[in-house]
Amino acid sequence: MSRPRASDILPRDLWVDHPQGRIFAREWSPQGVGAHRPASPIVLFHDSLGCVELWRDFPAQLSAASGRRVIAYDRLGFGRSDAREVLPELDFIAEEARVYFPAVREQLGLERFVVFGHSVGGGMAVNCAAAFAGACDALITESAQVFPEDLTLSSIAEAKGQFVDESQLQRLARYHGDKARWVLDAWTESWLHPGFAAWSLKSVLPQVRCPVLAIHGMHDEYGTRVHPEMIGELSAGPAQVAILPDTFHVPHRERPEAVIELVCGFLDPVRQGGVVCAP
């Protein structure tokens, strides 16, 4: 059966109820593909300023190319999800796997799944793969950070300075509405907080037993290649590291065809219940 085109895949909006507020989600599902033995869906975790809308047409392209259901959701406080009154605690990366993703998983019927996280969403995807090792068929990170590298912090501080320009905050408000200031502060004030300096994924990665693909741009302004290399080295399962030349922090936007080719090649043998993970 031929693959559907991305333009043929219509998104469906969903809502997840959580004690702290409603979480907005969107899914793209190719009809009639893999019906006999459906592949596990791909769950996308957005970056620090991201949301469902900012994935743009990448989820539809990924769904069409992979033949899998693709799901993206706005973390609480972002996009169309309900607002949060206070800034996240400093363990917010692990908290996503512990507090919020379980509700997303249960209400969207994700018995098995693949996690795909961009930037800080990559760290959240790592935590989800570790916390749900028996259900996670594969982990894909894109431009993820393993620890607060000097380059990461200096680039965040520079970005924070740029948001002094009110027009920059207005651009953010297009996607987050009146939550834009909270979204910005949740990023900059968390990462630049002195207490965040000790944060690391080094103790979490050995708990990841599924296959891993770590994608990174050669010129990523928020982290060097040490991050994908550590993800590959420290994960317990089989791992691939892909460093894309002429690419910065958002490979899925800068080089979508290359990212999709990598992901599909990586996931091709990863069918639902068909992966042998490391013990």
Full DSSP string of 23-56: EEEEEE--TTSS-SSPPPPEEEE--TT--SGGGT
Cα–Cα distance, 233 to 218 (Å, whole number): 18
**Whole-number average pLDDT of the chain:** 93
Q: Assess whether pLDDT exceeds 80 at residue 279.
A: no
What are the structure tokens assigned to 173, written together? 């408000």
Residue-level pLDDT at 9: 87
pLDDT at 165: 87
Confidence of residue 2 (pLDDT cuts 50, 70, 90): low
Residue 3 has a pLDDT of 63
What is the separation of C-alpha 195 from the centre of its chain, rounded to a whole number of angstroms?
24
Residue 156 has pLDDT above 50, yes or no: yes
Give the pLDDT confidence of 76-101 residue by residue, as tens digits: 999 999 999 999 999 999 999 999 99
What tokens does 112 get? 């098995």
State pLDDT tens for residues 99-154: 999 999 999 999 999 999 999 999 999 999 999 999 999 999 999 999 999 999 99
- In this structure, the strands spanning 239-244 and 212-217 are parallel
Q: Are 100 and 91 in contact (CB under 8 A)?
A: no
> pLDDT category, 191, cuts 50, 70, 90?
very high
Give the residue from 62, 45, 46, 52 showing the smallest Cα distance to 12: 52
On the CB side of 5, CA atoms within 13 Å amount to 2
Pick the CATH number of 6-146+200-267 from 3.40.50.1820, 3.30.420.10, 3.40.50.300, 2.40.50.140: 3.40.50.1820
How much is the average pLDDT of 68-79? 97
Cut 0.85: pTM above it: yes
Confidence check: pLDDT of 166 > 60: yes
Q: How far apart are CA 266 and CA 133, in angstroms?
A: 18
**What's the rounded Cα separation, in Å, for the pair 279 and 266?**
20
Q: Is the Cβ–Cβ distance between 117 and 124 less than 8 Å?
A: yes
What integer pLDDT is reported at residue 31 of this predicted model? 74
Token digits for 32? Answer: 């009639």
* Sole residue written with tokens 């302004």: 221
pLDDT band at residue 26 under the 50/70/90 scheme: very high
First to last CA, the chain: 35
| pLDDT tens-digit series, residues 197-227 | 999 999 999 999 999 999 999 999 999 999 9
Residue 35 has pLDDT above 60, yes or no: no
Q: How confident is the model at residue 37 (pLDDT cuts 50, 70, 90)?
A: low
CA distance 231 to 244: 16
For the chain, the domains span 6-146+200-267
DSSP conformation letters of 114-169: EEEEETHHHHHHHHHHHHTTTTEEEEEEES--SS--HHHHHHHHHHHHHTTSHHHH
Of the CA atoms within 13 Å of residue 126, those in its CB half-sphere come to: 34
For residue 8, count other CB atoms closer than 10 A to its CB.
11
